[in-house]
Chains A and B, each alone.
Chain A
Amino acid sequence: MADTMTHHTDHGTDHHDHGGDEKLWDGGKQPFKASYGKLMMWYFLLSDAFTFAGFLIAYGTLRMSMPTWPIPDFVFSAFPWFTGTLHHKPLLFVTLMTFVLLFSSFTMVRAVQEGHRENKQGVVFWMVLTIIGGIGFLSCQAWEWTTLIKAEHVSVTKNPFSAHTEHGRYLAGDGHEIKAGDTFQPGDSYLIHKHDGEWGNLPYEVLDADGKNMMDDSGNKLVKNQAFGPKAFGALFFFITGFHGFHVLSGVIFLIIICINSATGLYVKRRNGYEMVEKIGLYWHFVDLVWVFVFLVFYLI
């Protein structure tokens, strides 16, 4: 990379990381041979990793503490297009979201590589693609949230999704392909619907494992009304994916700012290999990294 000697004086914080003898930090030597900005970005990401780990561990703990939990394959099965064939297929939409984010991570790598060889046009081209990927991901998430809130009525305090813990037979039909007389097993999913703003009832007879009716003490058939799912589910889902989405959103904003700065030639003047692009790149990959684990914890397991 080109000589950098003359460029440090005008930018207090943007040091180049291939420094020779020049006084870069106050100690005169770069710790870990990395610039101040990059190193601090790493430590910020480390602290952020602990924040996300705390959230995901809370999710795991609460999920473990419940006798039953909504099954992700059932909850996250909506698909916006080709609803005839692809609706209610597990994992499809969220896999698409994962690929959008993965691909934007790749375009970010390419932007950083173009930056290393001081190719302005390359940097801007790949950054624009990254921004499109980020906005695409956010749009997918907005659609997913809208479906959960508007169509399925999940909120931070109410969760109509869960899985059965006993055998039974429905006494009344409801949406989501439930018909009166259908039987279910422990582990099967259900969704309580809202009709004209009122929560519907899902009464069912309790059966034993052989499919015979269980009786109560007075000799009548044991009938129960399906309860709502664990309350914590909605709050955890919206809070954790929302916090991740907020990271994506702020990432997109910074990407746009840095993309404009690249396009106007600000980083050409600095001639430090577009280090700013590298720093936002670290952040952007981290957002992708967090999604790997959100995807794992919420959707795969």
Chain B
Amino acid sequence: MGHLTYEESKSKAYKVITILGLITIGEVLFALLGKGYLVEGIHFPELLIAGMMILMSIVKAYLIVYEFMHMKYEVPGMVKSVLLPLGLLVWAIIAFIMEGNYWKNSRSGIQDKNQAEIETVVKPRVQSTQTKQLDHKQTGH
């Protein structure tokens, strides 16, 4: 709904879809460039790539919600009642990502300990029969 005339909102729609398309192309090009697919030898730090991707996605989300879904033209109370609850997700994302990282560290800690125990207790039998066979094949050739 809104305060724009038909012609105004029509040209706005064309403008917004153009921006959305350009951001998407920008995202893909940045991802490919950062991961070294476009120019040989260029790599961006992972954190920079992830940060840029998240930033551009949030801009896209803003444009879709505020322009395409007309959130910009709703009364402030309604905007808040829809958008504020989403703020809870900020902590959910941070907490769960930290938790995942903790699992990884615990897992590798357990693996290291298991490895250490195998080395001290059953040292002579550490090589499995399967790898022996493969080794045999390799030297036979």
Interface residues of A (CB under 8 A from B): 17-18, 31-34, 39, 42-43, 45-46, 49-50, 53, 57-58, 60-67, 73, 90-91, 95, 98-99, 102-103, 105-106, 108-110, 113, 116-117, 171, 203, 205, 216-218, 220-225, 281-282, 285-286, 288-289, 292-293, 295-296, 300-301
* B97 close to A225 (CB less than 8 A): no
- When the two chains form the complex, which single residue of A18, A67, A289 contacts B61, counting CB atoms closer than 8 Å? A289
CB distance from A299 to the nearest CB of B (A): 8
B1-43 interface with A by 8 A CB criterion: 1, 6, 9-10, 13, 16-17, 20-21, 24-25, 27-28, 31-32, 35, 37
Total of A-B residue pairs, C-beta within 8 Å: 158
Q: Is B44 an interface residue (CB 8 A)?
A: no
Instruction: Tell me whether A39 and B78 are in contact in the complex, defined as CB-CB below 8 angstroms, given that A90-B32, A102-B24, A171-B134 are known contacts.
Output: yes
* B96 close to A105 (CB less than 8 A): no
Question: Binary interface profile of B, 37-74, with partner A (CB < 8 Å = 1, else 0)?
Answer: 10000000000011001100100110011001100001
- When the two chains form the complex, which single residue of B60, B92, B123 contacts A57, counting CB atoms closer than 8 Å? B92
* B60 close to A223 (CB less than 8 A): no
CB distance from B119 to the nearest CB of A (A): 8
A residues in contact with B64, CB < 8 Å: 105, 285, 288-289, 292
Instruction: Tell me whether A301 and B50 are in contact in the complex, defined as CB-CB below 8 angstroms, given that A61-B100, A216-B127 are known contacts.
Output: yes
How many angstroms between the C-alpha atoms of A109 and B21 in the bound complex?
A: 15
- When the two chains form the complex, which single residue of A64, A65, A90, A98 contacts B24, counting CB atoms closer than 8 Å? A98
Q: How large is the interface on B (under 10, 10 to 19, 20 to 34, 35 or more residues)?
A: 35 or more
Q: Is B114 an interface residue (CB 8 A)?
A: no
Summarize A's interface: helix, strand, loop or mixed. helix
How many angstroms between the C-alpha atoms of A67 and B50 in the bound complex?
A: 18
CB distance from B135 to the nearest CB of A (A): 5
* A46 close to B54 (CB less than 8 A): no
How many angstroms between the C-alpha atoms of A7 and B98 in the bound complex?
A: 55
Q: Is B85 an interface residue (CB 8 A)?
A: yes
* B13 close to A292 (CB less than 8 A): no
